[in-house]
Amino acid sequence: MLALFVTPVFALPVVDAPTSVLGGVQFQLSPRQGAQSDDVLAQQYVIKMLQIVAKTCTEAYPAPANVEECFDRVYHGLASNLDPHSAYLNRKELDEFREQGRGELEGVGMQLGRIGKAGPFVIPGIIPGGSAEELGIRPGDKIVKINNQPASAFKDIADAVKTIKGPAGTQVTLHILRDGEGERAYTLTRRKIHIAQVVAEPLLKANGKTFALIRLSLFGDTLNSELKLAVEKILNENRGKLQGFVFSVENNPGGRVDQVISALDLFMDFPSVSPVLVRTASGITVYGEDSSDVRGITRTRGDITRGLPILVIVNGGSASASEIFAATMKLYNRATIAGTEGTFQKGTMQSVQSLGDGSALKITIGEYLVGTKDNWVAVQCAGVAPDVLIPPLAQPLSEPNGSPTVKSERVTDCTLSGSVTSGGQMQNPPYRPSMKEANPEHYKIATEEMLPLFIKWRDAEFARQQSFRR
């Protein structure tokens, strides 16, 4: 499944679903008041196309084995070809989508994208707790075969997802190609996965200093409340002894925009309604100016850490809402950003719109920006660059099958087939001091004290996991 970036419903034109999609299919689109003739013609064309599809699914010879499945494939195909993150969600998929927002999944624990129309599938991120993580599959790995079928045999991502997904306890075999290390077959067991959205790790201590480490795995429905509780608990248990916080959004696929805004508001006050802007064909607006946007946003006065230094850890699997988190912290110099590489570069925003029959359309509605109208940065096709680069873990594939080494470019949202092109960065932006310039004391603590402790913890944790796998 693709990384999902969920927003509250936006006020956009919505196509009303037919009351029945199987018996006497009826489609109706109402032109906007004052719409131009081209707009009316385009809508009439859409109606005609859907009527032809309906006739094909109900009257084709030989008749489709399953008429409802015929419609389902058509709807999936129409939506999935818009861009990598738009999709039609039938009733079952919509239920799964809602469960994902609560951190409940069933599968192998990975996200899926594609390079080109018929190229290999790529794994943008790994979901904690799944067999993909357990077996050492990493973001950026490419899938060249699924159950011994070449990637080119699958017409689109939805087709591949149907094969990879399945009931808990069943298995799927993936042939993984990793840059510089060849190809290997993995047999993954599907399972139910609970994503702990906020995980407070043991305190990092050295030379009489104490720092907190919190991993943010998903900006799901309860991220903000869980994060606030975790931070307050650590502060209360270590009164006067804590020197800073490390927040890791590594491999965090994103989530709800209201949750990431609420989380950021724990540590800073914004100069406007929110630090997120939305760019569409109509221009740039501030997310939160519309009352429907703010229903899920929780405001916190001041900084609950009372100004303690913050270090944010990112990697190539940090996507969407986690990029908003890192980009905002960086733009406002509230945190130092460190990582093995830049983030995933997904700066598009999706809205989930009900179609009235238990299904929904998840569709890209615009590009999000971070900042204010006078000073903003775009994330799409740019990502968030770390202030400090850290060495990656050495994770060789064990028992390679001898396939030749292949090296390719880093996978980002903008290398995926059909990706949205960014509208570009701000022209003539104001001077933006770096964290090192704006707050040299916090920068020094983050890079010279917190970061070495984090790397030491990361390497020890990896060694422990490798020992467990063996």
Q: Of 149, 146, 124, 100, whose CA–CA distance to 417 is shortest?
A: 124
Q: Give the residue, 97 or 346, on which the prediction is more confident.
A: 346
* Whether pLDDT at 2 is above 70: no
State phi, psi for 19 to the nearest 5 degrees. Answer: -70, -30
Give the model confidence (pLDDT) of 181-207 as tens digits.
788 999 999 999 888 899 999 999 999
Question: Using 50, 70 and 90 to split pLDDT, how confident is the model at 312?
Answer: very high
Higher-confidence position of 339 and 112: 339
At position 271, the amino acid (one-letter code) is: P
Q: Please tell me the distance from the alpha carbon of residue 241 to that of residue 292, in angstroms, as a whole number.
A: 41
pLDDT of amino acid 11: 24
Q: Which of 226, 258, 201, 10 is nearest to 103 (CA)?
A: 226
Q: What is the DSSP letter of 255?
A: B
pLDDT score, position 332: 96
Q: Mean per-residue pLDDT for 270-276?
A: 84
Burial 21-58 (b: 16+ CB within 10 A, else e): beeebebeeeeeeeeeeeeeeebeeeeeebeebbeebb
Domain boundaries, the chain: 104-194, 198-393+409-469
3 state DSSP class of 353? strand
Q: How many CB atoms lie within 10 A of CB 278?
A: 23
Give the tens place of pLDDT for each residue, 425-434. Answer: 999 999 999 9
Q: How far is CA 272 from CA 33, 265, 401, 435, in A?
A: 33, 12, 55, 21
pLDDT at 42 over 90: no
Superfamily of domain 198-393+409-469: 2-enoyl-CoA Hydratase; Chain A, domain 1 (3.90.226.10)
Helix, strand, coil share (%) of the chain residues, nearest 5: 30, 25, 50
pLDDT in tens, 368-404: 999 999 999 999 999 999 999 999 875 443 333 333 3
Q: Is 175's pLDDT higher than 60?
A: yes
User: Strands, DSSP E only, in 221-314?
Assistant: 245-248, 276-280, 283-286, 310-314
pLDDT at 84: 86
Compute the residue count for the chain.
470
Q: How many CA atoms lie within 13 A of 230 on its CB side?
A: 23
pTM of structure: 0.82
* Residue spans of alpha helices (H) in 311-412: 321-331
> Residue 38's pLDDT is what?
65
Model pLDDT, residue 467: 65
Q: Does residue 262 sit in helix, strand or coil?
A: helix
Q: What is the pLDDT of residue 407?
A: 42
**Fold of the CATH domain 104-194:** Pdz3 Domain (2.30.42)
Sign of CA dihedral 127, 132, 135, 138: negative
Q: Span 25-29, mean pLDDT?
A: 40
Mean pLDDT lowest among 49-63, 116-130, 425-439: 49-63
Least confident of 19-33, 53-67, 102-116, 437-451: 19-33
pLDDT surpasses 60 at 453: yes
Question: How far apart (Å, rounded) are the C-alpha atoms in residues 302 and 254?
Answer: 25
